[in-house]
Amino acid sequence: MKELSALTGFTVRNLRSTTLVLLVVASVTGANLWVHRGSPPVGYGRYDKHGFSMDYPLNMNFNEMGLSGSKASDASGSIQLARQDETLTQYGLFWMGPEMLATYLEPTPEGALNMVFGIAGLEGTSISSRGELISSTKDGHELVYQTIMIEEPGVSIPAIIGAWYCEELGRFIILYLFYVPDFDQIEVLSPAVEPMWLGLVESVVCHR
């Protein structure tokens, strides 16, 4: 996926220049960041387009992008957020209707994940391993997620990615997160990642 590889490129550039950063101090912990209803809290913006909403910290680098060269639309798109301070945090949300899935894929959350992996592979982002699928629910929707390893030259970055289908919205939502609290242990999945990822899922309002 162009967006994913572009952002992982951004990440690796930053990893290579960690001595230049480490200036902004802002704690990134799941619990206090991604709880919202009503208006967004101070320091947060709200993405409220294409039928769903999600609050995000304004001190993160925010991008809205289309899939496969198109513009973000009701049919498909993504938002990507990244920040590096004393940690590295990046997450992204993709949305796509079932019609966007390749015909050989099942129109299920797992199929949507396979679609994202397929596009990412074509765009040069290598996913070296995929953990067992974990099943859960999101506001009554079936939710599946798994750990993955994203391969960049010289480094493997663990992440969590998952998907659900919102019947009311008529679209899949796919969310990934990687969070590296310790640059000496980039390749180790921090125990903080799963609760953070679940907090992100919680923060998405996909139907009202």
- Give me the residues paired with residue 52 across strands: 49
Instruction: Say whether residue 207 binds Zn ion (CB under 5 A).
Output: yes
Q: Compute the least distance from the CB of residue 88 to Zn ion, in Å.
A: 30
Q: Which of residues 147-166 bind Zn ion (CB under 5 A)?
A: 166
Closest to Zn ion by CB, 1 vs 166, is 166
For residue 123, give both structure tokens.
């765009």
Which residues have CB under 8 Å from 91's CB, separation 6+?
Answer: 80, 81, 175, 176, 177, 178, 197, 200
Residues near Zn ion (CB under 5 A), total: 3
CB under 5 A: which stretch of 32-40, 61-69, 174-182, 200-208 binds Zn ion? 200-208
Angle between helices 109-122 and 2-16 (to 10 degrees): 60
Instruction: Say whether residue 206 binds Zn ion (CB under 5 A).
Output: yes
**Which class for 144: exposed (0-12), middle (13-18), buried (19 or more C-beta within 10 A)?**
middle
Question: Do the Cβ atoms of 183 and 88 come closer than 8 Å?
Answer: yes
Binding characters for Zn ion, 27-66, by CB under 5 A (x = yes): ----------------------------------------
Closest to Zn ion by CB, 100 vs 206, is 206
Q: How far is CA 39 from CA 47, 56, 61, 143, in A?
A: 11, 12, 21, 26
Closest to Zn ion by CB, 74 vs 182, is 74
Q: How is residue 93 annotated by DSSP?
A: E
Q: 192 — alpha (psi -120 to 50), left (phi > 0) or beta? A: alpha
Q: Provide the 3-class DSSP secondary structure of residue 207.
A: coil
Instruction: Say whether residue 15 binds Zn ion (CB under 5 A).
Output: no
Closest to Zn ion by CB, 106 vs 168, is 168
Q: Compute the least distance from the CB of residue 172 to Zn ion, in Å.
A: 11
Q: Compute the least distance from the CB of residue 143 to Zn ion, in Å.
A: 11
Q: Compute the least distance from the CB of residue 173 to Zn ion, in Å.
A: 8
Q: Compute the least distance from the CB of residue 121 to Zn ion, in Å.
A: 28
Q: Which residues bind Zn ion (CB under 5 A)?
A: 166, 206-207
